[in-house]
Structure 1
C-alpha cells in the first residue's frame, strides 16, 4: 500500500513516529455480516420476532410477535419448514437483513439476500434443534418452544445491543 502502509491478513499496519498502528482494512465487514445473518436467522424461528427486536418501540410488532409465540404452542399449527412457512420467514429475514444492513452502513440488497438465506437456514436449524431437545430431555413440545423463544429473544438482544459485536 502507499505511504508506508502494509497489509497482512486484512489488517493495515502504518508506521508512525510512535510505532505501528493497526487498523482493520474492511471495517469489521465480517462481523457486520455475522450480525445481519444472526438477527435474520431469528426470523426462521419466529417470523415476527426478528422485526420486533429490530424495532423494539413498535407495539404492533411486539404484539404480533407475542401472538405468534402463543399460536406456535397450539396443536395443528403447520411446521415452519413447510413451503408457506419458509416463504414468510424468508421475506421477514430479507426485510430484517436489509434494515440491519442499512443501520451498519452496508448494502441493503446484500443484507436482504443474507437475511433471506439466514432465515431459511434458521428455520431448519431451530426446527430440528427443538425436536431433538424435546426428545433428549422428554420436555413437552410447548415447553421446548418456550425455551426456543427465550433463546431467540436473548440472541437477538445480544446481537443488536452489544457494542462488542
Structure 2
C-alpha cells in the first residue's frame, strides 16, 4: 500500500482545527494551550519568525493568566456576546495566530495556517454561541451556568489536544 500525502496532514491540519475551535469558544484558550506546548517543545520552524514569541515560557505564562481572566470575565453581565464584531475579531485573530504559528512550526505556510485558523474560529464562534444560547433557552438555565460547562469542555479539549501531539522536534515520516 502506497503512503499518501494525507499522512502528513495530522501534524499541522488537525491540531489547527482543534486549536481554532477552542479560539471560537474562548479566544485566549487557543494561544494559551499552543504556547504552553510550544514553550516546552520549541521547533526550528519558528526560528526567525515573528511568531517565535509563542515559544517563550514567559509568553505561555501570560497567556494562561489571560485565559483564566477570560473565563471569569465571560460570566460577567456586561460582557458582550461572542458574535459582537469586536469580540468576533479577537476570536478570528486568535485562531489566525495559533494556526499560523502551528503551521510555521511544522515548516508549513504561516498564511495557510492563519487562514485555516481564522475560518475555523469563525465557525466555532457561531456554533458555540448557538449551542450556548440554545441550551440556556431550552432548559431555562442561565447563560453563565452553561458557560461553566463550556469552560470545562474547553479545558478538557485543550488538554486532550496537547496530549495527542507528537513532540515538535521529532521529525516523523510515515513509510
Give the unaligned 5+ runs of structure 2.
37-56, 167-175
How many correspondences in the alignment? Answer: 144
User: What are the equivalent positions in structure 2 for 1:99-118 lying under 5 Å apart?
Assistant: 99-118=101-120
How far residue 143 of structure 1 moved from its aligned partner, in angstroms, is: 1.3
Q: Which shows bigger deviation, 132-141 or 113-122?
A: 132-141
More strand by share: 1
SS at match of 1:106: coil
How far is 1:154 from its partner?
1.5
Instruction: List runs of 5+ in structure 1 lacking aligned partners.
Output: 1-12, 14-21
CA distance in structure 2 between the aligned counterparts of 1:72 and 1:97, rounded to whole angstroms? 24
In our comparison, the structure showing a higher alpha carbon Rg is 1
Higher RCO, 1 vs 2 (CA within 8 Å, ≥6 residues apart): 2
Of residues 133, 139, 142 in structure 2, which corresponds to 1:140? 142
Provide runs of 4+ in structure 1 moved above 2 Å: 22-28, 102-106, 135-139
Are 1:53 and 2:55 counterparts?
A: no
Deviations 1:75-111 (A, max 9, x none): 0211111111111111111001112222333221110
TM-score, normalised by the number of residues in structure 1? 0.78
Residue 83 of structure 2 aligns to a residue whose secondary structure is coil
Residue 40 in structure 1 maps to residue 20 in structure 2: yes
Partner in structure 2 of residue 86 of structure 1? 88
TM score, norm. by length of structure 2: 0.74
